[in-house]
Structure 1
Amino acid sequence: MVSLFKRSDKTNARQLKKYQRTVERINSLESVYEAKTDSELQNASAEFRGLLADGKKLEDLIPDAFAAVREASRRVLGMRHFDVQLIGGLVLAEGNIAEMPTGEGKTLVSSLPAYVRALTGEGVHVITVNDYLAQRDYRQIGQIHEFLGLTVGLNLPQMDTGAKKEAYAADITYGVGTEFGFDYLRDNMAGTNADKVQRPYHYAIIDEVDSVLIDEAKTPLIVAGKMAGNSDLHTVASLLARRFEKGRDYEFDSETKATSLTDTGIGKVEQAFDVGNLYELEHQTLYHYVIQAVRAHVMFERDVDYIVKDGKVLLIDMFTGRPMEGRTLSEGLHQAIEAKEKLEITEENKAQAQITIQNYFRMYPLLSGMTGTAKTQEREFREVYGMDVIQVPTNKPVIRQDLSDRFFDTADQKYRAVAKETAERHRSGQPVLVGTTSIIQSEAVARYLREEDLSFQLLNAKSVEQEVELISQAGQPGNITVATNMAGRGTDIMLGEGVAALGGLHVIGTEKHESRRIDNQLRGRSGRQGDPGSSQFIISLEDDMFRRFAEEDTEKFKKKNFPDAEGEYRGKAVQELSDRTQRIVEGAHFSMREYNLKLDDVINEQRKIVYDLRSRALNGDENGHLLKTMLEDAVSFILDEALPPDGLIEPEQLQTAEAALQELFGGSFRLPQDLDRRKQADARTAQPIAEAGQMIDAQIGHPRVNAVTTNVLRTFIDQMWVKHLEMMSHLKEGIGLRMYQQEDPMRIYQREGLELFTMNFQNLRMKSVTELLSFMRLRESEQKEAN
């Protein structure tokens, strides 16, 4: 491991030397661009684009382009890029991650590569973590690009199609990553090409890249719609789950919320529904309904997690304790709770389109990002996204003091220590920021601070704008701010008058996180741009991290080590326990993200096939070719499934093939009863295929026929894809069952996922071809009668 870090450090140093040489070249051009008039500087973009059109490489333009942006920024915003910001821009322009601490001006850094990559006219997306930051950067940094003659767009939720199209058509488009992803999904659900808003992907810059590509990557992007479920099956599954016993019929982990059936429980399901083997692919839907019924009983408690009001299940917000009107659980879980409470069962939220964050952003040919904390996740960035992390030097040396962690036996002792430490620093006038992992924890801290008669700002703002305002004031003299660690991210905390002499902002962390990276984000709130500051974590062995991931290790530690009278542990052993546990947590979460990505990679290949087919159908230019190909493939599939490739054909096999082919060619189609070889079957279908092809060619040129063909293909593709996503979800849920059979779940998912896709795609071909050939035959018949 040490050698890996050494190699990484050497690579970083080598890269920085290369960037430094380019920075020297940019600096040598500074006087040239300072001497230009505004109009001359504004003509630079046209000149650069002319050079690109003449064959000059984009990389060769970087020194001049960066010099132009630096000068434009100085004139428009009064902000001149530091040399380290130029280095950050070079890192991004190459498609890597620039690690730059808080306060180093990452927002201004993005103006450089965004401009360079936008010169090609293919579009640049600048991704932020929320709408507030997207609008702020669009209004501020966008001025630089508009001064230089580029167009700038802003992509926000709830915008109409026309406004979104205009935003995407701009040279540089600002917005939140999830909205770009949802637009991609919606484009692939659009009724016509005119309803699509995006253009082909080119280059993206992601601000707070670790937040977007790692923290948010746990949850896929899903566009859902209301659809009818099987209310009877929900009811029966609920009655069965009500009789199940924990430990005997099912296992439930209260920490991870993992729920699974035991062999005994599986046996009861098989007996109740009279199925031979619940492991079979055809029973995945049944398993899904049963496991959701069990979850409804063991994971959700009435008047704690939900209430029943006016015959409806209303979920409770765990942070505020208030009912969440209009919010429902997906994948049939909400309906399972309704069945548990013997209420009327409503329609289910079912996925109509979905994609993981990882697979969405991997569609960009070039991706880059910036953050204050990425090095600890470098392996994941490289393996998943193909980006290296380059640590950019700070403009001024970091002088923040990161004090040793303090460990207490109980949460109560920890919070008392936090309050005491806060009070001591507050007495001197030093501002304190207390970081927590949740609003619930923030309120716990608040109770202990009140006991010390301390005034503080509890950051539970109703909007991001308020959050930014409150967090920015955390460095003022005597201020005490309690906030969740992600609150107001991307906001600089400026020190008030006289605070530097008091030691700067002191940050207290009240719990270690699932990643050292998030701990470092909290520390990085203090000590910006060479400011003094300090940080310290005050935690307890009752914290979530120890309870969930190191229960046995913690018990062993407590038997050998004892706290002092205040409940505090001293020495290296407790620090080693903490570090080891955090590494275990990091590894577990990385493995989970890696596993989920592998699962989605299976669907991703299928999604590409379906979306490509849908796009071609919407274009309508090749509908005849598409339809003929689907017909040929459908016939081949029928014969492959029903008849042996070699050897004699049995009468039953012949009947199965004939019945399926009659769907395509009409009820009059027959296979000779003496047909006994597969090659003969191929020959027998050749003429009907050719005749159908001639009819398609004759009909498809008519505008009405082409429009009907597009509409039918789109409708059946959408229906197939929604059904397939549901089946894949049920399959993913059920592969855990196979652990008992000692099979590799991933291989099962890949194999059976392919089987499902092959089956569903054949159903799509059969439905589409049958419907359209029938329509064309009817139209052909009407034309003959008319003549």
Structure 2
Amino acid sequence: MLDMFFSNSLKLSLPTTTSKYKNLVEKMNSREKDLKKLGDKELKSLVKPLREKLIQEGSGNNEVQVEAFSLVREATLRVLGIRHYDVQLVGGLVLNEGQIAEMKTGEGKTIVALLPTFLNALYGKGVHVITVNEYLARRDAEYVGRVHKFLGLSVGLIQSEMDPKERKQNYQCDVVYLTNNELGFDYLRDNLAFTKNDIVQRPFFYCVVDEIDSVLIDEARTPLIISGPTKSPVDKYKKSTKLANALQKDIHYLVDEKNQNATLLEEGIEICEQALSVSDLYSAEDPWIPYLLNSIKAKELFKLNTHYILNSEKEVIIVDEFTGRTMEGRRWGDGLHQAVEAKENVPIQDEAQTLASITYQNLFLLYEKLSGMTGTAKTEEGEFEKIYNLKTITIPTHRPLKRKDFPDVIYKNQYLKWQAIARECAEIYALGRPILVGTTTIEKSELLATLLEEYGIPYRLLNAKPENAESEADIIAQAGALKSVTIATNMAGRGTDIILGGNVEYSIKAQLKKFIKKLPSANYEEFLRNETENTHLGKFLPFFKQIDEAWFKDEINIQKLEAVLNNENLDDASDNIVYEFGTLLHGIIEEQLKFQESQKIKVAELGGLHVIGTERHESRRIDNQLRGRSGRQGDKGSSRMFLSLDDRIVRLFGGENIVSMMENLGLDDDTPIQSSILNKSLDSAQKKIESYYFDARKQLFEYDEALNIQRNGIYTERKRVLEAVSLRDWIIEYGERTLYDISIATKNSDFLGDRKNLFYHSVNQITGLHYNFGLAKKEVEIEQIDIALKQSFEVLYALKELQLETIENGLMRELERSFLLQQVDKAWQEHLQKITALKDSIRWRAYGQRDPLTEYKKESYNLFVTMLIQIRHRVVYLLMRSRVFMEQR
């Protein structure tokens, strides 16, 4: 029965780029028969010698790869009922080399990741599998993670709601599933930790990034930031919003949609200065210009139900433009979020002061070995190679692609476009073919839903609004069923295959849920928690719990369910309900498998899944991801994009050429253009946008590179502080260098009076040293005093140490660590603020014929050196001037 569903006959035919892997795959296939003869215990016993061989010879050794991949393939078949295709083995080999495997949607990237993660996890250093959202991380850890557990590895999962203790336990596992956000924020939090025990992560070793283009390209435009609250000038935001609403576009200000910027014109500046009763909006003491520009951006560029939504608590929640998901806890920086809150007239939350930050580029370059997989990486292969030193290798599909991509059609306005989309949905729905419609915003998904209601077409809606929060996986899984119409806001990283005829495993799950409701327990979940022996179903409680774990926590697997059923002697059960349940489960599986197969044949005969795109995205990859939902594993399918002249990409990047083309052809308003010339024009526009964003990401990376050297230095120093048993020698060195700094500063000063007095005063203020050098008797050179001062400092420090140790053993060591960490963190936060201000102003250097990046590197280095000196001085001052008071009882 399961062979029908999971069969995958193989014949390997590789293009030149991947032909070098053919011999390795053939060796893996030749080992398969021998491994099949082994029992589970014998199979698992092969792991230990493989680990020893790996540590001796390395993961690049061909024999080690063959043994490991063969082992994982056999384990996956036994645990999940799925056998790796030969092309999936090739994908695993590419990932193990630290490269990007481009594999089309539906080619099974999730189980491909099992191969290199198992092999590299044998080193015992920890392997990370990065996914784009928490649902996929949890699903993969619970479902495919069982293969790793079967082979004796530990599997960890990081979720946003976990406390530090749970996180630390999970990061210690051999294979850890998590999102890029959690990885980055945990890294930053670890480098703000106050004790060694607060650190949750291990050093980064090997990483596989699922949807690597989404993580390292789309999300790499903005850095990850951990911030602390600072008081927001609420009044300024409110006044700026009122002024922005009163000002008129192109008269008082200009808006650059391409670059997402706004500029006040002279007339607008005058009106604002009069309204605010200020003489200069750009005043350094009381600047108004950033608040006004943010309010104009909020008004013109950031739209409700497109860029953000309002939740039930009236909070502004950002919507990810690439995935269509809400980004809880994320806020726009530099006061933009507060400006949007003022625009929507909701409570304005505090501004944020940066405590720590890192770009995704520099975060993932921390790994010893990095790899990734996606269906759409070739369009960005240049960026992957330049920034991350990752080559992109296209893996052939298991079966030939049969999807037909029709040319785009373009209408004169939005109204005509949406009417045409609704008509196309009606025509295809009448045939019975499944339809998937991808929209770019929540607003547009709801517009189409309203139109379909007028046509009487049933649909399922998937977008970021909480009220539409039907299970994402359920909606996508059944998008290939007969007469299914699915509207989804963006399809990037949805993670669930669309199977023609519907997903049989989700269908079975739905049937089981219906049957569960018939059980005599008032509440099924309560029944599962009931450990009482008096329950007439009590002896079957473990059986029900296994069913619950397998089916009601998204750990969906037919083979496991059948194994559970076969292990229970249901025929001899005296309880009719349990017997009925078991019999029904067998029946449901058999019936649903046959039904799904017949449905799949019907849908394929009708032409497969039809994908409709309602707008071109700025990135070709996002469009390709939408199209890629159709034509999975050699299935039939088709796709078409519907556009209008007032779509953003057409309007901003080539609209005039297309308008003149329509006028020259003399077409009616209702007649769309459909031509290969149009498609080429739009492809060219998308390439320009991609090039623009690549330059922006490259600039972000180049500027952060200079800061990254400093960040690594500070974080390395911080780690040494946490791990050191004693910091005494460290502080003594700080004191000696402080004295030297004072000496140099005094000698180089322009002070015209008695330099020795200045010198002694500085020494006394910072170190607390009171030393009489007999100034009245004779002149003493400062160089001679340096040696005496250093000796005196050591004596004074020893006395301070003795005094504190008499109060409490180890107190001096704790004060050293505490003061040092406090001052490092405080100085770094101040440094980040100065760096932000430097970035904002440095571009003006170009007008003086100086390279802004070179100037930035010089000045940021000078700021960093100054910061290090300040840390030394502050730590010495605090330690020498500190007083400990005993509480009287």
TM-score, normalization by structure 2: 0.75
Matched ranges for 1:40-119 at <5 A: 40-54=42-56, 59=61, 60-119=63-122
Residue 159 (structure 2) aligns with: 156
Higher mean C-alpha deviation, range 478-487 or range 503-512: 478-487
After superposition, give the CA deviation of every residue in 1:440-473 in whole Å (9 maximum; x if it has no partner): 2212322333343332222236487711111111
Query: Is 1:691–2:792 an aligned residue pair?
Result: yes
Q: CA deviation at 1:691?
A: 3.1
CA deviation after TM superposition for structure 1 residue 54, in Å = 4.9
Structure 2 counterpart of 1:214, which letter? I
Residue pair 1:405, 1:536 contacting (<8 A) in 2 also = yes
Q: Which residue of 2 aligns with 1:3?
A: none
Report the CA distance shift for 1:392/1:248 in structure 2 as closer, same or farther (over 3 A): same
Residues 422 and 227 from structure 1, CA distance in 2 versus in 1: closer, same or farther, beyond 3 angstroms?
same
Distance 1:52 1:602 in 2: 37
Q: What displacement does 1:610 show?
A: 1.7
1:141 aligned residue: 144
Change (3 A) 1:247 1:443: closer
Q: Please, which of 659, 664, 667 is the counterpart of residue 563 of structure 1?
A: 667
Deviations 1:595-624 (A, max 9, x none): 122222232222112212222222233512
Task: Give the residue type in structure 1 aligned to 2:219.
Answer: E
Task: Supply the distance in 2 between the matched residues of 1:562 and 1:658 (Cα, whole angstroms).
Answer: 90
**Which structure 1 residue ranges, 5 or more long, are not aligned?**
1-11, 783-787
Counterpart check, 1:620 vs 2:620: no
**In the alignment, which residue of structure 1 is the partner of 2:853?**
746
1:68, CA displacement in angstroms?
0.8
2:828 aligned with 1:721 = yes
Residue in 2 that maps onto 1:8? none
Task: Give the CA deviation at 1:475.
Answer: 0.8
Distance in 2, Cα, partners of 1:657 & 1:564 = 87
- In 2, Cα distance between the equivalents of 1:661 and 1:708? 21
Structure 1 pair 168–334 and aligned structure 2 pair: CA distance change class (3 A):
closer
CA drift at 1:246: 7.8
Q: 1:573 to 1:738 in 2, by over 3 A?
A: same
- Cα separation, 2, equivalents of 1:88 and 1:202: 20
Q: Say which is worse superposed, 65-74 or 654-663, in terms of deviation.
A: 654-663
User: Is the alpha carbon distance of 1:54 and 1:257 closer, same or farther for their aligned partners in structure 2, counting shifts above 3 Å?
Assistant: closer
What RMSD, in angstroms, separates the aligned Cα atoms of the two structures? 4.2
Partner SS, residue 616 of structure 2: coil
In the superposition, relative to structure 1, how do residues 73 and 337 fare at CA in structure 2: closer, same or farther (>3 Å)?
A: closer
1:772 matches 2:871: no
| Matched position secondary structure for 2:471 | helix
Q: Residue 32 of structure 1: which of 19, 31, 34 is its match?
A: 34
Question: Is 1:708 matched up with 2:815?
Answer: yes
Give a deviation string over 1:85-112, Cα, whole Å, max 9, x none: 1101101111111111111111111111
Structure 1 equivalent of residue 201 of structure 2 = 198
Does the aligned pair in 1 maintain the 2:95–2:371 contact within 8 Å? yes
Secondary structure at the aligned position of 1:625 is classed as: helix
Structure 1 residues 245 and 543: alpha-carbon distance in aligned structure 2, compared to 1, 3 A threshold: closer
Alpha-carbon shift at residue 219 of structure 1 (Å): 2.8
Query: 1:292 is matched with which residue?
Result: 290
1:38-74 deviations in Å (ceiling 9; x for gaps): 1111111111122245556663411011111111111
1:526, distance to aligned residue in structure 2 (A): 0.4
Of 364, 369, 392, 1:366 maps to 369
Whether 1:23 aligns to 2:38 is: no
What is the distance in 2 between the residues matched to 1:396 and 1:761? Answer: 60
Question: Which has the larger displacement, 338-347 or 523-532?
Answer: 338-347
Q: What whole-Å deviation, never above 9, does each CA across 1:541-581 have from its counterpart, x for those lacking one?
A: 21111223445555665665543452412445433321221
Paired residue for 1:759? 866
Query: What SS does the corresponding residue of 1:48 show, helix, strand or coil?
Result: helix
Q: Structure 2: any 5+ residue segments left out of the alignment? A: 1-13, 321-325, 502-598
1:459 aligned to which of 459, 462, 465: 462
User: Residues 84 and 395 of structure 1 are in contact (CA less than 8 Å); yes or no, is this contact kept in structure 2?
Assistant: yes
SS in structure 2 of the partner of residue 499 of structure 1: helix
1:447 to 440, 447, 450: 450
Query: 1:392 Cα deviation (Å)?
Result: 0.7
Paired with 2:135 and 2:345, the residues of 1 have a C-alpha distance of 43
Counterparts of residues 174-573 of structure 1 (less than 5 Å): 174-228=177-231, 252-253=255-256, 256-260=259-263, 289-301=287-299, 315=316, 330-333=333-336, 347-460=350-463, 462=466, 466-486=471-491, 489-496=494-501, 497=599, 498-550=602-654, 553=657, 560=664, 562-573=666-677
Mean alpha-carbon deviation: is it higher for 750-759 or for 375-384?
A: 750-759
736-745 or 102-111, larger mean C-alpha shift = 736-745
Q: Does the 8 Å CA contact 1:661/1:669 hold for their aligned counterparts?
A: no
Aligned-partner Cα distance in 2 for 1:471–1:435: 12
Aligned length: 749
Query: Deviation string for 1:256-286 (max 9, x for gaps)?
Result: 44145779999999xx9999997xxxx5xx5
Moved more, 366-375 or 482-491: 482-491
SS at match of 1:370: strand
Q: Which entry has the higher C-alpha Rg, 1 or 2?
A: 2
Instruction: Note if contact 2:381-2:391 (Cα within 8 Å) is conserved in structure 1.
Output: yes
Aligned partner letter, 2:672: E
Give the aligned partner of residue 9 of structure 2: none
CA distance in 1, matches of 2:470, 2:223: 26
Give the 3 Å change call, closer, same or farther, for CA 77–361 of structure 1 in structure 2.
same
- Structure 1 stretch 230-239 or stretch 50-59: which is displaced more? 230-239
How far 1:754 moved relative to its partner?
2.6
**Equivalents in 2 of 1:408, 1:607: separation in Å?**
51
SS state at 1:393 partner? coil
SS in 1 for 2:830: helix
Q: Secondary structure at the match of 1:29?
A: helix
C-alpha displacement of 1:735: 3.5
Of the structure 1 ranges 752-761 and 36-45, higher mean CA displacement relative to structure 2 is found in 752-761
Task: Tell me if the contact between 1:692 and 1:773 (Cα under 8 Å) persists in the aligned partners.
Answer: no
Q: Which one of 123, 130, 134 corresponds to residue 133 of structure 2?
A: 130
Distance 1:729 1:391 in 2: 40
Q: 1:756 to 1:491 in 2, by over 3 A?
A: same
Q: Could you say what secondary structure the match of 1:522 adopts?
A: helix
Question: Counterpart of 1:508 in 2: which secondary structure?
Answer: strand
For 1:606, the equivalent position in structure 2 comes to 710
Identity of aligned residues (%): 38
Structure 1 residue 692 displacement after superposition: 2.2
CA distance in 1, matches of 2:800, 2:774: 30
Q: CA deviation at 1:202?
A: 0.5
Whole-angstrom distance in 2 between the partners of 1:516 and 1:454: 30
Are residues 590 and 636 of structure 1, via their aligned partners in 2, closer, same or farther at CA, if it must alter by over 3 Å? farther
What's the CA shift for 1:476?
A: 0.9
Q: For 2:679, which of 563, 575, 581 is the aligned residue? A: 575
Shifted more, 95-104 versus 248-257: the winner is 248-257
Query: Partners in 2 of 1:688 and 1:44 — Cα distance?
Result: 66
Structure 2: which amino acid aligns with 1:34?
K
Quote the Cα distance in structure 1 between the aligned partners of 2:365 and 2:832: 21
